[in-house]
Structures are given as structure tokens and as C-alpha cells.
Amino acid sequence: MIPLAEPVLGGNEARYLAECIETGFVSSVGPFVERFEQRFAEAVRAGHAVACASGTAALHVALRLAGAGPGRLVAVSDFTFIASANAAAYTGADVLLVDSEPDTWNMDTELLYDEVTRRARLGEPIPDVVEVVHVLGHPAAMEPLLELRSRFGVRIVEDAAEALGASWTSGPLAGRQVGTVSDLGCYSFNGNKIITTGGGGMIVTADAEYADAARHLANQAKVAGGHYEHDTVGYNYRLTNLAAAVGVAQLERLPELLAAKRSIASRYDAWLSTSPFTPAPRAAWADPSYWLYSVLAGAGDSSPDDVVARLAAAGAQARRLWPPLHRQRPYASARVLGGAVADDLHRRGISLPSTATLSAEDQEAVVATALTAVGVGA
């Protein structure tokens, strides 16, 4: 079976895990947690990093720190994995789902900008927080959001769960990594992400106060030096030393894993460029992480379900792109800005096998099967 996205665990993972067992540091106290946080902050060039039990937990804490809560409004990408919106919903905030733009599939930040300025003009409530997702590893167009931040004080949280290592290559954010250009950025180390800790997440921020508050909330809001004293309702969201040990080993291989993802993407680009499939988006100003290389089937082609089924029959795992959140039951009554682009991405989108160790041979077979499914070749 050619997997969609499998962990690649060939480095120091086992050695560092053995070290945890031998020293007895298996839980949330231990040297690997701090080492993982420090090395992660260095890798993405962020001021501070706080490890969490999952990407969803990281987002929950980050959104709460950014001001999300009951009576507040959080604007979230409509086209994303549901965890992005769930984290906002946990805070008790209302959610405004914002459609994608067709060029990068990310939140249409111009559309949101126009809507916020329109609302502000009419004296209507505007979002307190924008949670922008770098979907499938492609950086979002941030300028309109940073403008909303400076004009209206809207806080920005980046969901970079799929986008570790992606960056902007030109414009005002040139050279900056996703997750580091807003108030708080969050990453996931779930089994299928760019790097994994089995399960885990990270919050990064330039603001030391946010970092301290994140650490505090993730540790049951336990007051330092106090005896079981807690100053608010916190969470048990700490990462274990075991998970962090795997994270440190994975981080050592991040450049290699990213390079592999990018060469897989450039092969897909080349092999699919003259096909009925629209290759994965790449803006001229972006260097994506290509977490899951995804394509759009042509409007008239056999259904994406058929392409996925043909690939499965040939031993390759592919997956339809998510139904937009406005189609999901928990968000059926959420406010939506647009939604047609997200609908189209779901209707036509397919993620192809993208494991960093995917061989060129297997990849060629995947492409041949996908092309056959839409009536090209053999």
C-alpha cells in the first residue's frame, strides 16, 4: 500500500525514547520538552515556543489568549480540517466562516478585509480574532489581516498545523516562516503532519507574556510556588517528555523531510502539468511545505470519488479534500462569508500520496493510475 502520509521515523527517535525510559522522565517533566521547545523556536525563528498535547490544544490556548471567548467573534477559514473551528468553538466564541480564494485555496483575506471595513463603517460588530489556516501547507496572503490588526486591533492567530517550514519568498514577509508573523502561531505533530510526536502541538509567539500565559493555561493554571493554587480554569495540555523526545529527533530531520516533500511536489507538478488535473497551488510569493500534495479534477472529469477508488484498487491511498465547515453539522448555523470556492475545492479536490519517503517509481504509478481514471493514457 502506498500511504497518503506516513510518519518517517528513521532517526534518533528510538535512542531518545530509550533515554526517557532509562531516566524515568516519561511524563511532562523532563529535559526533552524544553529542548524541543528551544530547537523548534530556532527552527522557525520565533521568540518563544510552548509545547502542547495536540495542535487542537495549542489552538485552543492561543485563541483564548488572543481574546476568543463567549460573546466574541472569531473569523476562521471555511475550507480546513474541522479542528481549526473546534478550537474556536471550545472558547465559547461565535464563528464566522470565511471562504477561500481560488489561487491558494486559503482564506480570502481581501474578502474578509472588505467585510470588516464595511461592518466597521456601519457600526456592526467586527471579529475580535482572525484564525487563518495555511491550508495544506501553502502560506496565506497575510497583508490584509495585518492591516486589520493595525487598523482595528483584531488579533491574528495562525493555524500552521500543516505548514511547518513554509515561508513567504517576496513582499513584506519575505523570508519569514508561517506561524511567526502574527500574535500567535500553532503547529500540529499528529502522525500525518510534517513532523510527528505521535500526537502533539506547539504555540509560538514573539511575546514573552503570551508564552508565559500559554504555559500557565496548559498546566492547569497552576500558580508557581503555590500549593495547588490555580488562578483560572486551565487545561491539562502539556506535552510529555516521551513525545518531546520523538519531536527532537524529528526536528533534526526537518530540512530533509521538507526537501523530500518539495521534490515530490515538483515531480507531481511536472507530470500533471499538461493533464486534466489542476496541480497544487503555488503563489509566486510562497514556498509551501506541500504537506499533502493536492489537485483539482477537471469540471467534466469522472468524479474525484472514482479517482480515489481507482487509486485504492491500485494500492495507493488518496483522499477527497474536506467538505467546507459550512457543510458540517456543528457549524451549520455559523455565519458564512461566501462559500462557493470552498464548495468547489471539496467537489473537485483530491490529496495524493505525499509521504516524504515516497519513491519516484511509486509516484509515477500513482500518476499513471490517476490519469487513467480521467481517461488519459493507457
- In the complex, the smallest distance separating the C-beta of residue 25 from ligand PLP, rounded to whole angstroms, is 22
Burial class of 206 by CB neighbour count within 10 A (0 to 12, 13 to 18, 19+)? middle
Q: Determine the Cα–Cα distance for residues 165 and 99; give it in Å rounded to an integer.
A: 24
The residue (of 55 and 304) whose beta carbon lies closer to ligand PLP is 55
The answer to the question of residue 196 lying near ligand PLP (CB under 6 A) is: no
Total residues contacting ligand PLP (rule CB under 6 A)?
14
The residue (of 133 and 248) whose beta carbon lies closer to ligand PLP is 133
- In the complex, the smallest distance separating the C-beta of residue 135 from ligand PLP, rounded to whole angstroms, is 7
- In the complex, the smallest distance separating the C-beta of residue 87 from ligand PLP, rounded to whole angstroms, is 7
Residue of the chain from 28, 80, 205, 294 that contacts ligand PLP (CB under 6 A): 80
The answer to the question of residue 56 lying near ligand PLP (CB under 6 A) is: yes
Residues in the chain, total: 378
- In the complex, the smallest distance separating the C-beta of residue 92 from ligand PLP, rounded to whole angstroms, is 19
Residue of the chain from 201, 247, 281, 288 that contacts ligand PLP (CB under 6 A): 201
C-alpha cell at position 213 = 500565559
- In the complex, the smallest distance separating the C-beta of residue 328 from ligand PLP, rounded to whole angstroms, is 14
The answer to the question of residue 91 lying near ligand PLP (CB under 6 A) is: no
Q: Which is nearest to 182 in space by CA: 216, 210, 212, 218?
A: 210
SS3 146: helix
Show the beta-strand stretches assigned E in the chain: 48-52, 73-77, 94-98, 129-133, 155-159, 167-168, 184-188, 201-205, 286-287, 294-296, 319-320, 335-337, 349-351
Nearest-CB residue to ligand PLP? 55
The residue (of 133 and 374) whose beta carbon lies closer to ligand PLP is 133
Residue of the chain from 188, 205, 240, 289 that contacts ligand PLP (CB under 6 A): 188
- The four Cα atoms 292, 298, 299, 301 give a dihedral, to 10 degrees, of -110
Residue of the chain from 37, 61, 84, 371 that contacts ligand PLP (CB under 6 A): 84
Q: Which is nearest to 211 in space by CA: 50, 35, 378?
A: 50
Is 222 designated active site? no
The residue (of 104 and 190) whose beta carbon lies closer to ligand PLP is 190
Give first-to-last CA distance, the chain, whole Å.
22
Q: Are 280 and 136 in contact (CB under 8 A)?
A: yes
The interface with ligand PLP within residues 311-330 (CB under 6 A) comprises none
The DSSP annotation for 78-106 comes to: SSS-THHHHHHHHTT-EEEEEPBPTTTSS
The answer to the question of residue 81 lying near ligand PLP (CB under 6 A) is: yes
C-alpha cell at position 279 = 496541480
The answer to the question of residue 294 lying near ligand PLP (CB under 6 A) is: no
Which of the stretches 53-61, 243-251, 296-304, 340-348 binds ligand PLP when contact is defined by CB under 6 A?
53-61
Q: Determine the Cα–Cα distance for residues 195 and 38; give it in Å rounded to an integer.
A: 16
Q: Determine the Cα–Cα distance for residues 240 and 59; give it in Å rounded to an integer.
A: 18
The residue (of 171 and 198) whose beta carbon lies closer to ligand PLP is 198
Catalytic residue among 134, 193, 215, 262: 193
Q: Determine the Cα–Cα distance for residues 14 and 125; give it in Å rounded to an integer.
A: 52
Q: Are 293 and 268 in contact (CB under 8 A)?
A: yes
The answer to the question of residue 197 lying near ligand PLP (CB under 6 A) is: no
Q: Determine the Cα–Cα distance for residues 89 and 112; give it in Å rounded to an integer.
A: 19
The interface with ligand PLP within residues 124-163 (CB under 6 A) comprises 133, 159, 161-162
- In the complex, the smallest distance separating the C-beta of residue 118 from ligand PLP, rounded to whole angstroms, is 28
Name the one residue in this structure whose C-alpha cell is 487509486: 311
Residue of the chain from 61, 83, 145, 157 that contacts ligand PLP (CB under 6 A): 83
Which of the stretches 54-62, 176-184, 206-214, 354-362 binds ligand PLP when contact is defined by CB under 6 A?
54-62
Q: Which residues does the annotation mark as catalytic?
A: 193
| Chain residues in the site for ligand PLP (CB under 6 A) | 54-56, 80-81, 83-84, 133, 159, 161-162, 188, 190, 201
